[in-house]
Amino acid sequence: MEWVPGRIPVLECLRAGKRKAHRLKLAQEAAGLEAIRALAAGIPVETCPRAELDRILPDSVHQGVLLQADPLPVWRAEKWIERSVPPDAILVALDGVVDPRNFGAIVRSAAAFGACGVLFAKDRAAPISPVAVKSAAGGMEHLDLIEAANLVRALDLLKKAGWWTAVLESDAPDSIWKANLTGRIVLIIGGEGKGVRRLVRQQADFRLRIPLPGKVGNLNASVSAGIALAECLRQRDVHTTDTGS
User: Considering the chain, what is the average pLDDT of its residues?
Assistant: 91
- Identify the band that residue 203 occupies on the pLDDT scale cut at 50, 70 and 90: confident
| In a shared domain, residues 194 and 167 | yes
Question: pLDDT tens for residues 88-111?
Answer: 999 999 999 999 999 999 999 999
Please state the pTM of the whole predicted model.
0.89
Residue 6 has a CB neighbour count (10 Å cut-off) of 25
Q: Could you list the residue range(s) of the whole structural domain that residue 19 is in?
A: 2-69
d(CA 200, CA 167): 8
| Neighbour order of strands in the sheet with 2-5 | 2-5, 65-69, 21-27, 45-48
| In a shared domain, residues 154 and 195 | yes
Question: pLDDT tens for residues 153-162?
Answer: 999 999 999 9
d(CA 71, CA 69): 6
Half-sphere exposure of 45 (CA within 13 A, CB side): 16
Question: Averaged over 55-60, what is the pLDDT?
Answer: 88
pLDDT at 31: 86
Q: At which of 23, 51, 69 does a domain end? A: 69
Q: For residue 243, is pLDDT > 70?
A: no
Q: Cite the beta strand spans of 108-193 per DSSP E.
A: 117-121, 144-148, 164-168, 174-175, 185-190
Q: For residue 237, is pLDDT > 90?
A: no
| In a shared domain, residues 97 and 175 | yes
d(CA 209, CA 8): 33
Question: Averaged over 197-214, what is the pLDDT?
Answer: 90
Q: At which of 20, 37, 69 does a domain end? A: 69
| In a shared domain, residues 158 and 122 | yes
Q: For residue 242, is pLDDT > 70?
A: no
Q: For residue 191, is pLDDT > 50?
A: yes
| In a shared domain, residues 65 and 82 | no
| In a shared domain, residues 153 and 224 | yes
For residue 65, the SS3 value is strand
Specify whether the CB–CB gap between 71 and 1 falls below 8 A.
yes
* Range with lowest mean pLDDT among 17-26, 56-65, 152-161: 56-65
Q: For strands 174-175 and 144-148, give the pairing.
A: unpaired
Q: For residue 240, is pLDDT > 70?
A: no
Q: For residue 215, is pLDDT > 80?
A: no
Q: For residue 134, is pLDDT > 50?
A: yes
